[in-house]
Structure 1
Amino acid sequence: MEYGHITLPTTNIPVSREVDVLVIGGGASGIAAAIAAARGGASTMLVEQRGFLGGMGTVALVPAFCPFTDKRRPIIRGLGLELMERMKQACDVGYREEYQELLDWVPIDPEVLKRVYDGAILESGVTPLYHTFVYDVVLSEDRRTVKGVVVVNKTGRSFISCQYIIDCSGDGDIAALAGVPFQKGGEAGELQPGSMCYLLANVNRPNFRRYLEESGDTGQLHQTVERAIEDGALPEGRKSISGLAWVNDYLVGVNFGHVFGVDGTLAEDLTRGAIEGRRLAERQLQFFRRYVPGFEHAHMVASGEQLGIRETRRIEGDYILSVDDFIAARSFPDDIARNAYYIDIHLANSKSEMTFNHLPPGVSHGVPYRILLPVGIDNLWVAGRSVSSDRAVQGSLRVMPNCFSMGQAAGSAAALALQSGTGSRGISVSELQRRLLEQDVWLGEDFMPAEETAGKKEGNTP
């Protein structure tokens, strides 16, 4: 509901910074984009609205990294794998011993991860600016380029000027402000639900494992959850726990249950979602204490600062990656990453069903450069879950390992554009691919850069 409008007086806003590459959003895609741009020689600033980096892995306490492999080999490599391994090495000895060789569903220690991300961006020469929101974008007269953004923080309002900008907001905020067309949700406007994740301490993993063995239940506690729903101890909805990520034998991250009807681009919805999410988390805590041996004395030490958001905007780019591309495991001449994570669309309400679609082990599809390029703007890349795809593929691309790889490609492309004095569409894609290969990005066993595949039909299956 709006209560009319007011007109603000004209004001002069100071220019607080001039940079080559400006990255908005400090989640997985933004971290990788900023590091890649800075390592490529660009003066780079990373703007984040919280006081730390990490996005859903720290802000929302999503408890584990999704898979880096196709169940046979790591396909998400480069910066994403490097940063996850740095987190492992920064954890205590017990954690390292247990998870050293694990590449899929690696538990996140959020405080360790925050420090790892801080160190990584500072080492690369990125200038961070935390506690800062983007208020608006300023476009060129022809509206083809973003000249910079107006930001708001405790210092006041100011303008950050840039030659290139990368939207890693997760919601496509910069692209939307720049007038890029987008879609949101399903045909009826439905959105995947959010989840309030949290950390439980004072739990006993050996006792929990014993319970699983004796009860015959799975690690997702499907039978136990169904019994609690029948008893009225849990609400209708998800009938198993998405994830228990054990940081150690007495501390576990939990991803369980849904909060429906939350649009992550609306502050009012995020407010309601946070309140409902904390109420649901408390109800789940009582469930754990009553129904799950090993959790009798569980204590919630932290819940997410906000709901984990799975879906909002999907920008319209030069190519829209489709479910047909996913199912056919297509490759493209302009591939900048690979993806094997399954299509994972969560139920839109407590009565609907979840959608899963898996590729066979060892199979992945290409992620083309063009899905990072919003139509109509020549110096803007979008990386992360708001890239140009249909809704089904967004349910696969949205996870943190994929966000790392798309961010790394966007940051590398921005550095290349700076060096060649061109826009996002004017760079040599083959040169970008060569640079990504040099950064240990995996683009397929027999991959050749674009110019070496000239004449091959676009969209060939590997």
Structure 2
Amino acid sequence: MPNIQYTKSLPVVAEPDVLVCGTGLAGIGAAVGAARNGASVMAVDRMGFAGGFFTNIIGSAFDGFVYEETGKPVVGGLVFEMLERMGVVEPGQAPNLVYNVNGDFTEVEKHPDRVIPRTDPELFKKASDDVLIESGVQPLFHTQVSDVIMDGSRVDTVIVSNKDGLVAVKPKNVIDATGDADVAAWAGAPYEVAESLQPMSLHFRIGFVELTFELRRKCAAVLDKARAEGKIGLYGGPWPATFSGRDIYFNVIRTPGNATNPADWTNAEIQGRRDAWTMFELWKEALPEFKDAYFFTSGPTAGSRESRRIVGDYMLTGDDIRTARRQDDVVVLGAWRIDRHPENTAGYHEQPVVPPYDISYRTLLPQGVENLWVAGRCHSATSEALASSRVTANSMGMGQAAGVAAAMASSSGFDSRGVSITELQDRLTAADVILDPASAMQGL
């Protein structure tokens, strides 16, 4: 296809200290962390609400929040606060409770007495709005990052598009929380894409049905039989959870693709909706528990587990995770399993349990750019390591660290690599971020 040349003078609509691109889990952490440390912050998102995985795709609980062997938190800070804001835990109690790893009934059955770090999508939308506004962040929804203008090794301008057309934002510092490393890639930073990506998924909810441990097994058996009969293709799990006790949220759709490819993303949503309805109809036909069931909603968008991964000043590896290698510049802990969803097989997959491990500040720094941080599933990690570090609680923790660091850089005039690690860690621990795994290991 031919190229065209296009020239236009764009208005500069904002000049914040920190521009946060994306308001998913990483973006919320970044925006709040920066604003609470004195920076002026604009946060843009293509959706009409914040929340990322929990609201765009529909998620049920904070994955990676705890070490599953003990149920003790490994990620604190803003994750604690969001659980309190949603009424999941009482104020001040979050650090002291024992939690399940998430809301999936596969896991809840193992420890039914533990607290579920639940994240109802509508509650999370409201809690996200509240925490952003109360922290002094200027959110701008329905706004898509479209391009980056560089000045040497610095991001000078970020072009965004919304109902004003193409407009420009000129920040001092930028945090890429897009999930796909859009800003970093367009800024010319190096990145990797695995040859075999984890599949995309469209989550959905069914109303007027009561989830039980036995019903989970029945749903899995129906899908296994249907696949053997050629009635359905790929799927994962299923991993069901409930928000109300009278509904089921399903993480089960499995669609190969790369979210940075518009055709793949489109296909993931169209095929995902088809598969969701096929599964619903199979369950309704085979299981009496689904007699009054109602297909309530599918996620507003299909979700991606893996796409671009930046090449940062340090790359987290699977060996780092398995050996719990300590890092002098740790800014958040991880403990989620090495949970790599296969793109060509159906059902459940192996998820090796790992001990709490350090995520280095350097994994947030894309090589070759001075005033840009990334946070979330596009941080610097091998594909194997990302299978653990990509999840929600870790993403929010990475974002909070990046936000605090960006605020420090904005006030000092340093670039991302000139930030004092000791001061950054002190500010994070003062905000209840957990940087020492000792408390999570108690009771072993």
The TM-score normalised by the length of structure 2 is: 0.89
Residue 250 of structure 2 corresponds to residue 250 of structure 1:
no
Of all paired residues, the percent bearing the same amino acid is 37
Residue 88 of structure 2 corresponds to residue 79 of structure 1:
no
Secondary structure at the aligned position of 2:23 is classed as coil
Partner of 2:145: 134
Q: Look up the equivalent residue of 2:173 and give its one-letter code.
A: Y
Partner of 1:16: 13
Partner of 1:120: 131
Q: Look up the equivalent residue of 1:79 and give its one-letter code.
A: L
Partner of 2:358: 366
Question: Distance in 2 between the 1:372 and 1:46 partners?
Answer: 18
Offset of 1:64 from its aligned partner?
Answer: 3.0
Q: Which of 36, 45, 49 lines up with 2:46 in the alignment? A: 49
Q: Which of 176, 179, 186 lines up with 2:185 in the alignment? A: 176
Residue 199 of structure 2 corresponds to residue 193 of structure 1:
yes
Q: Which of 375, 380, 387 lines up with 2:372 in the alignment? A: 380
TM-aligned CA distance change 1:237 to 1:203, over 3 Å: closer
Any idea what the Cα deviations from partners look like across 1:244-300, whole Å, max 9, x if unmatched?
Answer: 11111212211113112x110011211111111100010011122123342222211
TM-aligned CA distance change 1:244 to 1:85, over 3 Å: farther
Give unpaired runs (5+ residues) of structure 2.
Answer: 91-96, 103-116, 440-444
Partner of 1:399: 391
In the TM superposition, 1:191-270 aligns within 5 A as 191-205=197-211, 208=212, 212=214, 219=217, 221-238=219-236, 240-241=237-238, 243-260=239-256, 262-270=257-265
- Contact 1:15–1:161 under 8 Å retained in 2: yes
Q: Look up the equivalent residue of 2:158 and give its one-letter code.
A: V
Residue 307 of structure 2 corresponds to residue 302 of structure 1:
no
Q: Look up the equivalent residue of 2:3 and give its one-letter code.
A: H
Partner of 1:420: 412
Q: Look up the equivalent residue of 1:139 and give its one-letter code.
A: M
Any idea what the Cα deviations from partners look like across 1:96-137, whole Å, max 9, x if unmatched?
Answer: xxxx96453134321111111011100000000000111111
Question: Distance in 1 between the 2:127 and 2:20 partners?
Answer: 19
Any idea what the Cα deviations from partners look like across 1:330-387, whole Å, max 9, x if unmatched?
Answer: 011000111110111111213799452211xxx3111110000000111100000010
Any idea what the Cα deviations from partners look like across 1:165-196, whole Å, max 9, x if unmatched?
Answer: 000000000000000111012xxx22111111
Task: Using the TM superposition, name which of 262-271 and 124-133 deviates more.
Answer: 262-271
- Contact 1:74–1:103 under 8 Å retained in 2: no
- Contact 1:29–1:383 under 8 Å retained in 2: yes
- Contact 2:26–2:399 under 8 Å retained in 1: yes
- Contact 2:88–2:118 under 8 Å retained in 1: no
CA RMSD of aligned residues (A): 2.1
Question: Distance in 2 between the 1:350 and 1:417 partners?
Answer: 46
Offset of 1:36 from its aligned partner?
Answer: 0.5
Partner of 1:438: 430
Partner of 1:4: 2
Q: Aligned residue pairs: how many?
A: 417
Question: Distance in 2 between the 1:61 and 1:400 partners?
Answer: 12
- Contact 1:108–1:245 under 8 Å retained in 2: no
TM-aligned CA distance change 1:327 to 1:160, over 3 Å: same
Offset of 1:41 from its aligned partner?
Answer: 0.3
The TM-score normalised by the length of structure 1 is: 0.86
Residue 146 of structure 2 corresponds to residue 151 of structure 1:
no
TM-aligned CA distance change 1:70 to 1:289, over 3 Å: same
Secondary structure at the aligned position of 2:277 is classed as helix
Question: Distance in 2 between the 1:19 and 1:225 partners?
Answer: 50
Residue 65 of structure 2 corresponds to residue 68 of structure 1:
yes
Question: Distance in 2 between the 1:331 and 1:305 partners?
Answer: 39
Any idea what the Cα deviations from partners look like across 1:369-407, whole Å, max 9, x if unmatched?
Answer: 000000011110000001001000111111100001000
Partner of 1:459: none
Partner of 1:450: none
Q: Look up the equivalent residue of 1:254 and give its one-letter code.
A: F
Partner of 1:343: 338
Give the structure with higher Rg (CA): 1
Q: Look up the equivalent residue of 2:196 and give its one-letter code.
A: E
- Contact 2:331–2:360 under 8 Å retained in 1: yes
Secondary structure at the aligned position of 1:23 is classed as strand
Offset of 1:305 from its aligned partner?
Answer: 1.8
Partner of 2:329: 334
Secondary structure at the aligned position of 1:442 is classed as coil
Question: Distance in 1 between the 2:197 and 2:98 partners?
Answer: 36
TM-aligned CA distance change 1:81 to 1:287, over 3 Å: farther
Question: Distance in 1 between the 2:206 and 2:173 partners?
Answer: 42
Secondary structure at the aligned position of 1:331 is classed as coil
Question: Distance in 1 between the 2:50 and 2:153 partners?
Answer: 30
TM-aligned CA distance change 1:26 to 1:445, over 3 Å: closer
- Contact 1:237–1:349 under 8 Å retained in 2: no
Partner of 1:452: none
- Contact 1:343–1:395 under 8 Å retained in 2: yes
Give unpaired runs (5+ residues) of structure 1.
Answer: 92-99, 448-462
- Contact 2:74–2:437 under 8 Å retained in 1: no
Question: Distance in 1 between the 2:376 and 2:273 partners?
Answer: 27
Q: Look up the equivalent residue of 2:205 and give its one-letter code.
A: L
